[in-house]
Amino acid sequence: MPFEAPALAGGAGGAATVTTERLARDDLRRQIAALERKLGELFASAFPRKGIEWRVGAVGGPRVLDAGDLERIRDALVVRLREAQAEVGRRADAEEANRALIESMIAQPEQHRWVKVSNEHIGEGECRHWHSRPRWGILGILLGWWRVKLSSGCPLA
């Protein structure tokens, strides 16, 4: 069955326009492929962080897209990539600060009474957490005996 590529131009110079438009679409497709690769790399490096938006949205398919639709996808991928990079960066800063907090808690637990930091706060999976708690309950509170307890991980399913 014959198929007409999108936005075919007719008349004099039509062939040249068609070629130019096809080249433009091919170029946009290459850009989309490169952006998809970067987004995929970021997705893998961001794991196991949750709550980051990765969806770009469909423009309605399956069909051959014209240059305008391809541009919309390209632009949406650029925006999504930039937002995801910014979010991962923000979280990485917070996670670094939380790692420093854990070190400080371990060095001086009495300075961080009842502070609890979980693996999620440092960008890692599982349910482990560090908790500054008094030794021997009330006695530890009265005498200032504090320590950091590391939980043993996720409960068995």
For the CB of residue 141, give the shortest distance to another protein in the complex, in Å.
42
Which x/- pattern, by CB under 8 A, does the window 41-80 give for another protein? x-xx--x------xxxxxxxxxxxx---xx--x---x---
Closest CB to another protein among residues 40, 89: 40
Say how far apart CA 58 and CA 90 lie, in whole Å. 27
Torsion from C-alpha of 112, 118, 119, 121, nearest 10 degrees: -80
Report helix, strand or coil for 146: strand
Number of amino acids touching another protein (CB under 8 A): 34
Say how far apart CA 137 and CA 95 lie, in whole Å. 30
For the CB of residue 63, give the shortest distance to another protein in the complex, in Å.
5
Residues 6+ apart with CB under 8 A from 140: 133, 134, 146
Closest CB to another protein among residues 64, 79: 64
Sheet holding 116-118, edge to edge: 116-118, 129-134, 146-150
Does 88 contact another protein by CB under 8 A? no
For the CB of residue 22, give the shortest distance to another protein in the complex, in Å.
7
Closest CB to another protein among residues 1, 12: 1
Q: How far from the centroid of its chain's Cα atoms is residue 116's Cα?
A: 25
Residues that bind another protein (CB under 8 A): 1-5, 22, 25, 29, 32-33, 36-37, 39-41, 43-44, 47, 54-65, 69-70, 73, 77
